[in-house]
Amino acid sequence: MDNGGNTHNAENYFQDRILPLLISRLASAVVVIFGVLVLVFLLIHLVPGDPVEVMLGESAQAADREALRQSLGLDQPLLSQFMTYLGNIVQFDFGTSLHSKRPILDILLERLPATLELALAALLVAILVAFPLGVMAAVKKDSAWDHGAMAVSLLGVSVPNFLMGPILILVFAVWLGWFPVSGRDGLGSLVLPAITLGTAMASILSRMVRATLLEVLGEDYIRTARAKGLGPRAVIWRHALRNALLPVITLLGLQLGALLAGAVITEAVFSWPGIGQLVIEAIQRRDYPVVQACVLLISLTYVLVNTLTDVAYGWFDPRIRTGASA
């Protein structure tokens, strides 16, 4: 009887709390994804002038222009083009590159591992820098350590990737010769791009760690832990930081999607052969189908990561579930 009651309660809990949360978040994600698809589809139509003329140049023959227009489906009505586009996307058919004549999906699959590698390395750099910095600033609130840590985080946010990258190259690659200047050749070539991409995220994350930890340190159970004789290290790392991690983890998930978008500049600076570098190359070659596919991939990845993070946050935080079911 008890097992049956527990099962019934679990079913009611899922239907009343979890299911409305999932439906709400997934519905929002579908709307955003549809908007992304529309914008990416319109990308080629927003190019100034005739996209075919932009791709082939003014000296192209009329027959070549007409052939390209037919191959891209630009001779069809706009609604028909959009429906064809959606049908191809559902089948993971991104078209063919105008430059290499290869399927775009194959090109994306070749470049995607490099971008994921860089994003995960940058995320690791951000975590290793942000947590010690944020904890130190919170524990030593209003001290010189606190002001120094926040100044460092402000500097990290203020310096853009296109400036941070060349500075790191000049110091650590040209002057000191510790790391390669560019390319993807071994672990050493990953260090400078990861630091460049992870610095801004570390700055944002360290401020979040400081803010949430300061809030938790004022709770009653922290004072109780101290009254029981626990040392400062045990109070901070075993009790306070563990309970302050939920908003920090949420920010990590949201920033992971931003890392993929921000990798475009970093990959261009370091000639890192990922999706970002592919976007730059496709723009230079006027290979607009590749540009469309890259923008779509980055956008959908960002939406997917944000949606999963939002659902995970709602799963672990009862207040969010209650709001969803209200």
Judge whether 13 and 262 are in contact, CB under 8 Å.
no
Predicted confidence (pLDDT) per residue in 50-70, tens digit: 667 766 766 777 787 788 777
More confident residue, 45 or 318: 45
Q: Which region among 2-6, 167-171, 298-302, 321-325 has the lowest average model confidence (pLDDT)?
A: 321-325
Which residue did the predictor score with more confidence, 232 or 37? Answer: 37
pLDDT computed for residue 324 by the predictor: 45
> What's the rounded Cα separation, in Å, for the pair 219 and 210?
15
pLDDT tens profile 148-165:
888 888 887 788 888 888
Q: Which of 295, 278, 289 is nearest to 85 (CA)?
A: 289
- The mean per-residue pLDDT over the stretch 249-268 comes to 75
Instruction: Indicate if the pLDDT at residue 107 is higher than 90.
Output: yes
Q: Mind giving me the DSSP string for 98-165? A: TTT-SBHHHHHHHHHHHHHHHHHHHHHHHHHHHHHHHHHHHHTTTSHHHHHHHHHHHHHHHS-HHHHH
Q: Which parts of the chain fold into alpha helices (H)?
A: 2-13, 19-43, 51-56, 62-72, 78-90, 104-139, 144-158, 161-168, 188-217, 220-227, 232-234, 241-243, 245-270, 275-284, 288-316, 318-325
C-alpha–C-alpha distance, residues 3 and 19, integer Å? 22
Nearest-CA neighbor of 81 among 43, 29, 36, 35? Answer: 43
Closest CA to 248 of 209, 305, 302: 209
Quick check: pTM over 0.85?
Answer: no
Positive/negative CA dihedral, 263, 266, 268, 274: negative
The strand pairing partners of 234, in sequence order, are none
Both tokens assigned to 282:
């496709």
Q: Which residues pair with 96 in a beta bridge?
A: 103
- pLDDT tens, residue by residue, 282-316: 888 778 788 888 888 888 888 888 777 777 666 65
Give the chain's mean pLDDT: 79
- Please tell me the predicted confidence (pLDDT) of residue 80: 85
Per-range mean pLDDT, top range of 7-16, 31-40, 213-222: 31-40
Show the domains of the chain with their CATH numbers: 104-325 (1.10.3720.10)
State residue 48's pLDDT score: 65
In 3D space, the residue among 207, 101, 102, 117 whose CA is nearest the CA of residue 154 turns out to be 207
Tokens 């991939």 sit at which residue? 297
What CA dihedral angle connects 112, 115, 121 and 125, to 10 degrees?
Answer: -150
